Amino acid sequence: MRKFVTLFGLFAVVCTLIGCDSYKKMADQPKAIQISCTPEILVLNDGKIAADISAVIPAGYFKDDVALKITPILFFEGGAITGEPFILQGKKMTLNGMVVPSDEAMAVHRSVEFDYQPAMDICELKLLVEAMSKSGKLKDFTTINANNGAVLSATQLAILGRDDNMSYSLKYECSRSLAAGLNTLQKDFDFAEVMQPEANNYKTVTSNVVKADLIYGINSAVLSESAVKTDAVAALKQSVDENIGNDRAQQSVYVNGYASPDGPEKLNNKLSGERSQSGLRAVQNLLRDSGLNIDAAAYGEDWEGFKEAVAASNIEDKDLILQVLSMYTSSAEREQEIKNIASVFGDLKTEVLPQLRRAQVITTTDITGRTDAEIVTAVKNGKAKELTLEELLYIAESNPEIAEPALRAAAEKYGDARAYNNLAVILAKSGDYDGALKALDKAAKAGSKSEELNNNYALVYLAKGDTEKAAEYAQVASSEVQALTAAAMGKYTAATKELDGYNAAVAHVQDGNFAAAKKALEGDDSAKADYLRAVIAAKEGNISDAKTYLTSAIAKDPSLAAKAAKDINLSTLR
């Protein structure tokens, strides 16, 4: 039921003090001006506190030579903000106000809006009333006590002209209450919870494969001295030597013998076996100080190698060659076709086939990374910069308690965009939205154009209350981020279609769907979820459950006690 505030009772006193016959007649009327406010409990929406004020003036009530100036004022802890006043005047008054006819009823509507400040969590919207009469003693607007109709003294009027706590206090006492309390539930959306870290590429075991070919002459299994002294072979040996003595490295070496697929299959099988053995002897000599076991195997004709070499070559009709060869399944048929093609395409003879007469040496090194405990210890001991980028990104994700120092070290040492983005997530979750925004800017400067970065920008701006800026990023953001942007603008019904979990529950409560809100909270035993359950129970009139949920919430997060003490949604518990 809408609550009406009447401005009738104050006129009896006013009339006596100002000597106005018109006021006396108004005061004697059985009806009065009725003023109502929507909503009766103020609501925070998109950084604003807005209300609609309506006044109903009965027919034959308002006299022609009187005027009222009604000023909405929002009082809160530590101050007050004055809204735009509106004037109601009889037709004989010339004040540029709204003329109220004396012979018919009239409805007046005014909207007020205030920019939200955290101090406004406890606030009250009141009306300050000033009276004036053309024929009475108050020739100018003079503040009267809207609760009892008394005209303020000269001393009190002087105090009202100041901008201090005494002035605020006197205005509060003299004005009539219209709406008390502020529903700040919109602030309870958890935007930081939705922020997304970028993935790391950390692997417990990292494998490194190095290959080198030992090239033979046609129909030969004898290695020349130059075949072992190539850059590829030197790089392979260097890789092996670098990991000797590394307890975390496990190395394997293989020598695989092949033959080019342009000779008889039987001969090629024999050649590949001989090449694997001569290659083995050469590699054993090359790596004699490594202490590694070396395996050798023969694979006959190297058809896979042939296809790879042709595909990587500059031969003009290489696609045709590969297509023709794919038509044959018989090794003998493919061999013959190779010879036919080679007679036409000389490049096969000079560029492709020679490199397939080989023993391929392969080293595989599996390096086991540091354990989680080792990485954590390094970070805690101030040695984070000795870790790799992927180790730092990984440990920040798996161990939240050291996430911030790990990511700061990663960002400082490597300048990696992922490190800055993930640091922004951590800072936002701790409430440092300005720090989070700076980290996102550095991620963008480092070249990141990821979806995560765009979403996180929108969410940080939402957390800062800048929905206009957030909406710019939300245009190309995920559906969840777009829904949260809508919710931050008060579009709760639309938002609930894309949200789930806690944030969906907040939107449902704001939309008045308590059943859907409770369902969305199922399985969530966090402090904030219990707090929201307390709010829902209080709104449903279930005080016992509300107290139980609130007690649980405060036990999990003691800081919620201070929040509950100011929360209008829990006023019935107080």
Verify that 213 and 130 share a domain, yes or no.
no
Q: In the block, which residue shows the tokens 């602030």?
A: 187
End position of a domain, from candidates 148, 183, 218? 183
Q: Identify the pLDDT of residue 27.
A: 46
CATH value at residue 265: 3.30.1330.60
Verify that 266 and 363 share a domain, yes or no.
yes
Cα–Cα distance for residue pair 56/103, rounded to 1 Å: 14
Q: Identify the pLDDT of residue 332.
A: 76
Verify that 9 and 149 share a domain, yes or no.
yes
pLDDT above 50 for 1 = no
pLDDT above 50 for 9 = no
Q: How many folded domains does the chain comprise?
A: 3
16: confidence class by pLDDT, cuts 50, 70, 90: very low
Domain that holds residue 397: 186-199+370-479
Over residues 416-444, the mean pLDDT reads: 97
Cross-strand partners of 252: 364
543-554 confidence digits (pLDDT tens): 999 999 999 999
> What are the start-end ranges of the H helices in 150-299?
154-160, 165-174, 191-194, 231-243, 265-286
Numbers of helices and strands, H then E, in the chain? 25, 17
139: confidence class by pLDDT, cuts 50, 70, 90: confident
Verify that 86 and 142 share a domain, yes or no.
yes
Cα–Cα distance for residue pair 568/507, rounded to 1 Å: 17
Q: Return the sign of the alpha-carbon dihedral for residues 439, 441, 444, 449.
A: positive
Lowest mean pLDDT among 163-167, 203-207, 329-333, 446-450: 329-333
Higher pLDDT: 265 or 18? It is: 265
Cα–Cα distance for residue pair 32/6, rounded to 1 Å: 6
Tell me if 454 is assigned to some domain. Answer: yes
Verify that 283 and 415 share a domain, yes or no.
no
Cα–Cα distance for residue pair 8/12, rounded to 1 Å: 8
Q: Identify the pLDDT of residue 333.
A: 79
Q: Which of left, alpha, beta for 474 (phi over 0: left; psi -120 to 50: alpha)?
A: alpha
CB 453 within 8 A of CB 443: yes
pLDDT above 80 for 110 = yes
Q: Return the sign of the alpha-carbon dihedral for residues 205, 447, 401, 527.
A: negative
Cα–Cα distance for residue pair 73/512, rounded to 1 Å: 28
What is the percentage of the chain residues whose pLDDT exceeds 70? 94
Mean pLDDT of the chain: 90
Q: Identify the pLDDT of residue 12.
A: 41
Q: Identify the pLDDT of residue 6.
A: 52
pLDDT above 90 for 34 = no
DSSP 435: H
Cα–Cα distance for residue pair 120/174, rounded to 1 Å: 20
Tell me if 527 is assigned to some domain. Answer: no
End position of a domain, from candidates 339, 368, 397? 368
CB 48 within 8 A of CB 114: yes
344: confidence class by pLDDT, cuts 50, 70, 90: low
Over residues 195-204, the mean pLDDT reads: 94
CA distances from 558 to 44, 506, 521, 549 (A): 24, 21, 21, 13
469-490 confidence digits (pLDDT tens): 999 999 999 999 999 999 999 9
Verify that 155 and 36 share a domain, yes or no.
yes
Q: Which of left, alpha, beta for 96 (phi over 0: left; psi -120 to 50: alpha)?
A: left
Cα–Cα distance for residue pair 123/101, rounded to 1 Å: 35
Over residues 209-214, the mean pLDDT reads: 96
Verify that 50 and 161 share a domain, yes or no.
yes
CB 356 within 8 A of CB 260: yes
Q: Identify the pLDDT of residue 10.
A: 43
Burial group, residue 378, by CB count within 10 angstroms (0-12, 13-18, 19+): buried
Q: CB 480: neighbour CB atoms within 10 A?
A: 18
Tell me if 90 is assigned to some domain. Answer: yes
Cα–Cα distance for residue pair 427/437, rounded to 1 Å: 9
Tell me if 528 is assigned to some domain. Answer: no
pLDDT above 90 for 384 = yes
Cα–Cα distance for residue pair 528/193, rounded to 1 Å: 12
DSSP 194: H
CA distances from 79 to 53, 72, 74, 375 (A): 22, 14, 9, 52
Which of helix, strand or coil describes residue 128? strand
Q: b/e map of 501-531 (b: 16 or more CB within 10 Å)? A: bbbbbbbbbbbebbebbbebbeeeeebbbbb
Over residues 227-253, the mean pLDDT reads: 93
Q: In the block, which residue shows the tokens 């030969």?
A: 220
pLDDT above 60 for 350 = yes
Verify that 47 and 168 share a domain, yes or no.
yes
Verify that 473 and 407 share a domain, yes or no.
yes
Q: Return the sign of the alpha-carbon dihedral for residues 64, 68, 69, 73.
A: negative
Verify that 33 and 87 share a domain, yes or no.
yes
| 224 sits in which H/E element | none
24: confidence class by pLDDT, cuts 50, 70, 90: very low
Tell me if 417 is assigned to some domain. Answer: yes
Cα–Cα distance for residue pair 502/405, rounded to 1 Å: 29
pLDDT above 60 for 3 = no
Q: Report the alpha-carbon angle 253-289-356, nearest 5.
A: 35
Tell me if 296 is assigned to some domain. Answer: yes
Q: Return the sign of the alpha-carbon dihedral for residues 223, 226, 229, 231.
A: negative
Over residues 94-108, the mean pLDDT reads: 90
What is the percentage of the chain residues whose pLDDT exceeds 90? 70
Lowest mean pLDDT among 29-38, 208-217, 444-453: 29-38
pLDDT above 70 for 23 = no
Tell me if 343 is assigned to some domain. Answer: no
pLDDT above 80 for 17 = no
DSSP per-residue string spanning 138-179: --S-EEE-TTT-PBPPHHHHHHHTS-SHHHHHHHHHHSEEEE
End position of a domain, from candidates 151, 183, 215? 183
Verify that 148 and 17 share a domain, yes or no.
yes
Over residues 413-431, the mean pLDDT reads: 97
86-89/98-99 β-pairing: parallel
pLDDT above 90 for 75 = yes
pLDDT above 80 for 334 = no
pLDDT above 80 for 22 = no
Tell me if 48 is assigned to some domain. Answer: yes
Q: b/e map of 318-349 (b: 16 or more CB within 10 Å)? A: beebeeebeeeeeeeebbebbeebbeebebbb
Q: Which of left, alpha, beta for 501 (phi over 0: left; psi -120 to 50: alpha)?
A: left
- What's the residue count for the chain? 574
pLDDT above 80 for 282 = yes
Verify that 93 and 33 share a domain, yes or no.
yes
491-525 confidence digits (pLDDT tens): 999 999 999 999 999 999 999 999 999 999 999 99
Q: Identify the pLDDT of residue 265.
A: 85
Higher pLDDT: 340 or 129? It is: 129
Over residues 266-288, the mean pLDDT reads: 95
Over residues 277-286, the mean pLDDT reads: 96
Q: CB 370: neighbour CB atoms within 10 A?
A: 18
CB 191 within 8 A of CB 462: yes
Q: Euclidean distance between the first and final Cα of the chain, in Å?
A: 23
Lowest mean pLDDT among 14-23, 106-115, 200-209: 14-23
Total-model pTM: 0.76
